[in-house]
């Protein structure tokens, strides 16, 4: 489509002002989306396209369709692994086709293989640097949410000598809902080094390459939807296995499990994760709308102290 994909995440300057569109028992990320979209960063969007992952995201997207100044497109994504892939592939494809039609632009399918190749290269580069411990989680999040083209990000990463600031800190895994704008800094200041990140801004984003040898639409569906180990997928065994392997490879000593209040996919899985990851485990329920920074700092600090001990 020649479009620039921009991921909607909490960004610097975000202050929650506009939460009344969803009931108070919706997760605070979904409730914050209207405020996030008011940031100057998002003022030039021409359309919003959302896969319906968890139910709260679906509700929020339907609400945005009523209040947004730009057209909104929603496609259903399967909750269960191995569900009717043809149906969900068509859902995804038709959402992009409707977006293109609404914006009067054409999808040039002949460009897809080259775009898939370059994005795969970016994922490989990120994976290499993370495995070697040369790319911090803060920078990883910036890359996951960047609007720069993948070619520029690869060039940047190829010139990056090392961004590892954690060698003297306690290595931990971060898991849970999408982070806000201050949590990583507080964790690092408290002596934790986020060596593995299972949130949807972290290592998981760069986990799957897209198959370059099959039909591009099918390959995109397979990688971004069917193979997406999002916590809303069932059964959760795949996500848990991925997290166990990641924790082992990165040799983390504990897990900081930060779920947003009323996030069902992460919140309801916390006890199972605690048992199956079998590592020291700090669970924090947080709320993007009223960040309790000092409480968060105290709890993470005490956890790091316990791990050091
Ligand atoms: S997974 Fe949790 S935090 Fe993320 S959108 Fe869904 S309910 Fe909100």
Centre of ligand 1 from the C-alpha of residue 148, in Å: 25
Residue 302 falls inside a structural domain: yes
* Cβ neighbourhood burial of 38 (10 Å; 0-12, 13-18, 19+): middle
Domain co-membership, 168 together with 99 = no
- The half-sphere exposure of 110 on its side-chain side, counting CA atoms within 13 A, is 0
pLDDT at position 289? 67
Q: Which of 266, 269, 289 to mutate to test the pocket of ligand 1 (most atoms within 8 A of CB)?
A: 266
**Helix extents (H) in 145-236:** 150-158, 183-189, 216-221
Verify that 90 and 173 share a domain, yes or no: no
Indicate whether 130 belongs to any domain: no
CA distance 219 to 143: 23
Together in a domain, 185 and 272 = yes
Compute the distance from residue 60 Cα to the ligand 1 centre, in Å.
11
In a domain, 260, yes or no: yes
What spacing in Å lies between the alpha carbon of 144 and ligand 1's midpoint? 17
Average pLDDT for runs of 10 along the chain of length 309: 94 86 90 93 96 91 93 96 96 97 96 97 97 94 96 97 79 95 92 96 94 98 95 96 98 96 94 98 86 88 97
Distance 264 CA to ligand 1 centre (A): 7
Task: Name the H helices within the chain.
Answer: 28-37, 55-67, 85-102, 112-131, 137-144, 150-158, 183-189, 216-221, 237-249, 264-267, 270-277, 293-308
Minimal-distance CA residue to ligand 1 atom 2: 263
pLDDT computed for residue 168 by the predictor: 85
Cα 232 to averaged position of ligand 1 atoms, centre (Å): 9
Q: Is 239 in the pocket of ligand 1 (CB under 6 A)?
A: no
Shortest-distance atom of ligand 1 to CA 28: 8
Residue 80, beta-bridge partner list: 234
Question: Which residue has the least CA distance to atom 4 on ligand 1?
Answer: 177
What one-character-per-residue DSSP string does 61-95 give? HHHHHHH-SS-EEEEE--SBTTS-HHHHHHHHHHH
8 Å CB contact between 236 and 269 = yes
Please work out whether the CB of residue 192 comes within 6 Å of at least one atom of ligand 1.
Answer: no
CA torsion 135-139-143-148 (nearest 10°) is -110
| Last residue within a domain, chosen from 92, 108, 124 | 108
Is 123 a domain residue?
Answer: no
Q: Which residue(s) pair with 284 in the sheet?
A: 258
206 lines ligand 1 (CB under 6 A): no
Say if 133 falls within a structural domain: no
C-alpha closest to that of 34 among 292, 293, 288, 224 = 288
Same domain for 172 and 85, yes or no, is no
Please give the number of the atom of ligand 1 that sits closest to the Cα of 267: 2
Question: Can you give the pLDDT at residue 288?
Answer: 81
User: Could you tell me if 242 and 207 are in contact, meaning their C-beta atoms sit under 8 angstroms apart?
Assistant: yes
Residue 32 domain-assigned (yes or no): yes
Provide CB contacts within 8 A for 276, sequence distance 6+: 240, 244
Q: State residue 82 phi and psi, 5-degree precision.
A: 75, 20
E strand residue ranges, 177-222? 192-197
Please choose from 29, 31, 175, 202 the residue to mutate so as to test ligand 1's pocket, defined by most ligand atoms within 8 A of CB: 29
Any ligand 1 atom below 6 A from CB of 27: yes
28, 263, 284, 289: residue to mutate for ligand 1 pocket, most atoms within 8 A of CB:
263
Residues 279 and 191 in one domain: yes
Last residue of a domain, one of 108, 130, 146: 108
Residues 177, 241 within the same domain? yes
Domain range for residue 102? 28-108
- pTM (predicted TM-score): 0.95
Domain end: 74, 89, 108, which one? 108
Decide: 260 in ligand 1 pocket, CB within 6 A: yes
Instruction: Tell me whether residue 266 is in a domain.
Output: yes
Q: Taking Cα atoms as reference points, which of 57, 52, 56, 43 lies closest to residue 75? A: 52
Q: Are residues 173 and 291 in the same domain?
A: yes
- How far is Cα 120 from Cα 208, in angstroms, rounded to an integer? 8
Query: In 10 A of CB 226, how many CB atoms?
Result: 18
- pLDDT recorded at residue 19: 83
CATH code, domain carrying 172: 3.40.50.11900
Distance CA 18, CA 20 (A): 6
Number of domains comprising the chain: 2
Give me the pLDDT at residue 287, please.
Answer: 83
Relative to the CA of 266, which ligand 1 atom is closest?
Answer: 2
């Amino acid at each position: 489509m020649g479009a620039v994909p921009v991921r909607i995440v909490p960004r610097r300057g975000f202050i929650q002002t506009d939460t009344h569109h969803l009931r108070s028992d919706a997760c605070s990320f979904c409730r914050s989306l209207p405020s996030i979209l008011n940031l100057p960063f998002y003022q030039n969007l021409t359309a919003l396209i959302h896969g319906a992952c968890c139910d709260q995201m679906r509700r929020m997207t339907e609400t945005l369709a009523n209040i947004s100044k730009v057209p909104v497109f929603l496609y259903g994504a399967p909750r269960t692994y191995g569900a009717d892939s043809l149906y969900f592939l068509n859902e995804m494809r038709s959402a992009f086709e409707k977006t293109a039609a609404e914006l009067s632009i054409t999808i040039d399918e002949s460009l897809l293989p080259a775009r898939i190749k370059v994005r795969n290269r970016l994922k490989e580069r990120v994976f290499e640097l993370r495995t070697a411990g040369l790319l911090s989680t803060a920078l990883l999040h910036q890359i996951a949410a960047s609007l720069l083209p993948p070619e520029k990000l690869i060039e940047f990463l190829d010139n990056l000598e090392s961004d590892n600031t954690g060698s003297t800190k306690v290595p931990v895994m971060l898991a849970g809902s999408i982070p806000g704008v201050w949590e990583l800094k507080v964790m690092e200041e408290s002596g934790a080094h986020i060596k593995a990140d299972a949130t949807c801004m972290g290592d998981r984003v760069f986990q799957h390459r897209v198959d370059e040898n099959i039909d591009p639409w099918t390959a995109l569906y397979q990688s971004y939807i069917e193979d997406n180990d999002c916590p809303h997928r069932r059964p959760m065994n795949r996500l848990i296995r991925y997290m166990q392997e990641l924790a082992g490879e990165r040799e983390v000593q504990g897990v900081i499990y930060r779920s947003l209040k009323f996030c069902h996919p992460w919140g309801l899985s916390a006890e199972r994760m605690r048992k199956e990851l079998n590592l020291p485990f700090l669970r924090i329920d947080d709320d993007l709308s009223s960040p309790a920074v000092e409480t968060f700092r105290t709890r993470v600090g005490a956890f790091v102290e316990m791990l050091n001990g």
